[in-house]
Amino acid sequence: MLAGRALAAIDKRLPVEAWSLGREALGIIAYSVGSVADADYARMLGLRGTAEFALRLGELDRAAALARELLALAERFRADFDYGNAVHHGHLLLGRVALLRGDRSAAGEELLAASRTPGSPQLNSFGPNMGLAQELLRAGDREVVLQYFELCAKFWMPPFGTERLAEWAAQVRSGTVPDFGANLIY
């Protein structure tokens, strides 16, 4: 956690490659890498943050490439609990890139792909990230967000998950954008 907070404080003008290398180095040290598989796992863990950083910098091609790499690496670690996180966030990143490029249809497809994660301890407990859903709602795409809620109910543990999703669905059906709270940062 300390390493993550330190990296988050890095000046946003730092080139993505340098930031990525620093994050990977910290991951490698933290996991006491002893093999290529360990290095790939450490890289997978760092790719979400690196892709989000590229997105914040407006480097859409780079963000998309990193998100696709995250999804590809995740396939090597399907048995690991972080696989579900990687699938969820990799597709959300691709959806945000698509939306920024003006392709709402592709963004909606990526939102639904993100909901098809097998879950993870974090997703099952705290729930899915709603950042892309919020952006799509603001763009007027209610139906795909309602589908996202339905699919997320498969992994977000009841009763909290099902109650929260039902509440949000009712708000969306009434024409409002819910306050997703902490689910915008998970």
> Considering only CA atoms, which of 64, 67, 60 is closest in space to residue 46?
67
Residue 117, domain extent: 104-186
pTM higher than the cut 0.75: yes
Confidence check: pLDDT of 28 > 60: no
pLDDT for the residue numbered 68: 98
Confidence check: pLDDT of 14 > 60: no
pLDDT for the residue numbered 24: 52
- CB-side neighbour CA atoms (13 Å) of 131: 18
pLDDT for the residue numbered 77: 97
- Given pLDDT bands bounded at 50, 70 and 90, which one contains residue 86? very high
Report the alpha-carbon distance of residue 182 to residue 16 in Å, rounded: 26
pLDDT for the residue numbered 38: 85
Confidence check: pLDDT of 10 > 70: no
65 and 126 co-located in one domain: no
Report the alpha-carbon distance of residue 71 to residue 125 in Å, rounded: 22
The backbone torsions φ and ψ at residue 159, rounded to the nearest 5 degrees and listed phi first, read: -85, -20
136 and 181 co-located in one domain: yes
Report the alpha-carbon distance of residue 23 to residue 181 in Å, rounded: 27
Q: Please report whether residue 98 resides in a domain.
A: no
Tell me how many domains the chain contains. 2
Other beta carbons within 10 Å of 110: 24
Confidence check: pLDDT of 151 > 90: yes
114 and 71 co-located in one domain: no
